[in-house]
Amino acid sequence: MKILVTGGTGYIGSHTCVELLDAGYEIVVIDNLSNSKIEVVDKIKEITGKDFKFYEGDCCDKNILVKIFNENDIDAVIHFAGFKAVGESVLKPLKYYRNNLDSTITLLEVMNEFNCKKIAFSSSATVYGKPETLPIKEDFPLSTTNPYGTTKLMIEDILRDLYVSDNEWSIAILRYFNPIGAHKSGLIGENPNDIPNNLMPYIVKVATKELECLSVFGNDYDTKDGTGVRDYIHVVDLAKGHIKAIEKVLKDTGVDAYNLGTGNGYSVLEIVNTFMKVNNIDVNYKITDRRPGDIDACYADPSYAKEKLNWEANLGINEMCEDAYNFVKNFKEDK
Ligand code: NAD
Ligand code: UD1
């Protein structure tokens, strides 16, 4: 089976490529390298000992997608390509609507032309907006609070409409909670060049002394210790969820959404303290004001994915913190 992976050199995409190759799939990867590095292609090959074709190109460009489908017999697609920074999407909404929507619509049109109607799509827990109760189930009301989230919800709607129009489609909408950590090899992971917005990359940069101090955004939330609670999931567990989703779309038709989370909520302080303990390193932090738009707590009910995809997360918070730090230490030694 040959799977096209869009955005395959990115953080989650690269880990999924490794799992696909390890599971015996052939892959073809397209990425425009707008948020990843070409070196990742060789790292994936080094980890797996397997080869694959990489196309540097943009999913908004119909010509390159047609070329890929002409040159390869693609059975299904995993679509990661897209922009993901919430704050930037508020400042530059058109950039987000253009890239995330255009790339997806172009991809779906080309898939249709080549009669390839099986896709797993990267959605996000952000489509649940501010949930009224926890844990979050897939049938909760959907709403968004920023343009990035709106692109995800719009694409979900496009995919649902597509299935209604043509029941041959097989579509898995994967709603990720908070992916962190890295592959055990330390060869691939997440290391943003800019100042990170998300918690774990920020903690890592404080630990490596690239940044001075972590701001803990608020300690007056209605949570166990007052700091925000999230469902952190090891990126390797998340990647394995894609293998299960692809098995499902290859087998059945339909459109369905699945929460990919652990079901456990950890607070910011729990993450910081665990990180310090398992890596035996200090992380300087101070309590500051809340970040506008943040919610108290967010965690999944992952039971639907377990029932339908036979998938559940196995790795715990210690491994997530160890592996996140291991990758960045390795990365710095490489330079
Ligand atoms: P990432 O930025 O590391 O990976 C995305 C990849 O897509 C990058 O390599 C980028 O160069 C590429 N890309 C972007 N636009 C493209 C285009 N038009 N054509 C070709 N390539 C393009 O992000 P990630 O964390 O790996 O996220 C993957 C997907 O999962 C994204 O769609 C993101 O919105 C979604 N997601 C991520 C998170 C998270 O916390 N990381 C949470 C929920 C959902
Ligand atoms: C963010 C995005 C969300 C996206 C998710 C996964 C925002 C507002 N939301 O969510 O749309 O789906 O990432 O990519 O950006 N924190 C600190 N200090 C920091 C950074 C974060 O205390 O420097 C806290 C936050 O207040 C939150 C927790 O850490 O309680 C996790 O934050 P983050 O990693 O940014 O993820 P989310 O807020 O869940």
Q: How far does Cα 282 stand from its chain's mean position?
A: 28
- Mean pLDDT on 79-107: 97
Residue 11 DSSP SS3:
helix
Residue 61: what pLDDT? 98
pLDDT confidence tier of residue 192, bands split at 50, 70 and 90: confident
CA 326, 187, 25, 78 torsion-angle sign: positive
State yes or no: pLDDT of 208 exceeds 60. Answer: yes
All domains in the chain, ordered by first residue: 2-180+233-263+301-314 (3.40.50.720)
What integer best gives the mean pLDDT of the chain? 97
- C-beta of residue 85 within 8 angstroms of C-beta of residue 211: no
Q: How far apart (Å, rounded) are the C-alpha atoms in residues 3 and 291?
A: 39
* d(CA 165, ligand 2 centre) in Å: 36
- Mean pLDDT on 71-92: 97
The share of the chain scoring above pLDDT 70, in percent, equals 99
Residue nearest to atom 9 of ligand 2 (CA): 86
* d(CA 7, ligand 1 centre) in Å: 6
> What is residue 255's DSSP assignment?
E
- Mean pLDDT on 305-329: 97
Residue-wise pLDDT for 235-258, tens only, equals 999 999 999 999 999 999 999 999
Residues whose beta carbon lies within 6 Å of some atom of ligand 2 = 86, 124-126, 149, 178, 197-199, 202, 214-217, 228, 230, 268, 291, 293-294
User: CB under 8 Å to 161, separation ≥6 — which residues?
Assistant: none
* d(CA 142, ligand 2 centre) in Å: 19
Q: How far apart (Å, rounded) are the C-alpha atoms in residues 3 and 33?
A: 19
The share of the chain scoring above pLDDT 90, in percent, equals 96
State both tokens at 10: 């990115």
pLDDT confidence tier of residue 30, bands split at 50, 70 and 90: very high
Residue-wise pLDDT for 251-278, tens only, equals 999 999 999 999 999 999 999 999 999 9
Closest atom of ligand 2 to 200 CA is 34
Catalytic residue positions, numbered: 148
State both tokens at 108: 């779906």
Q: How far apart (Å, rounded) are the C-alpha atoms in residues 156 and 315?
A: 28
Residue 4 DSSP SS3:
strand
| C-alpha dihedral (78, 83, 85, 86), degrees to nearest 10 | -90
- C-beta of residue 319 within 8 angstroms of C-beta of residue 234: yes
Residue 38: what pLDDT? 97
**Which of 294, 298, 299 is the pocket-test mutation for ligand 2 (most atoms within 8 Å of CB)?**
294
* d(CA 81, ligand 1 centre) in Å: 5
Residue 191: what pLDDT? 78
Residue 24: what pLDDT? 98
Neighbours of 300 (CB within 10 A): 29
- C-beta of residue 300 within 8 angstroms of C-beta of residue 125: yes
- Mean pLDDT on 176-187: 98
DSSP 130-175: S-SSSSB-TTS--B-SSHHHHHHHHHHHHHHHHHHH-TT-EEEEEE
pLDDT confidence tier of residue 334, bands split at 50, 70 and 90: low
- Indicate whether residue 13 lines ligand 1 (CB < 6 A): yes
Residue 335: what pLDDT? 56
Residue 329: what pLDDT? 87
State both tokens at 316: 């715990």
State yes or no: pLDDT of 193 exceeds 80. Answer: no
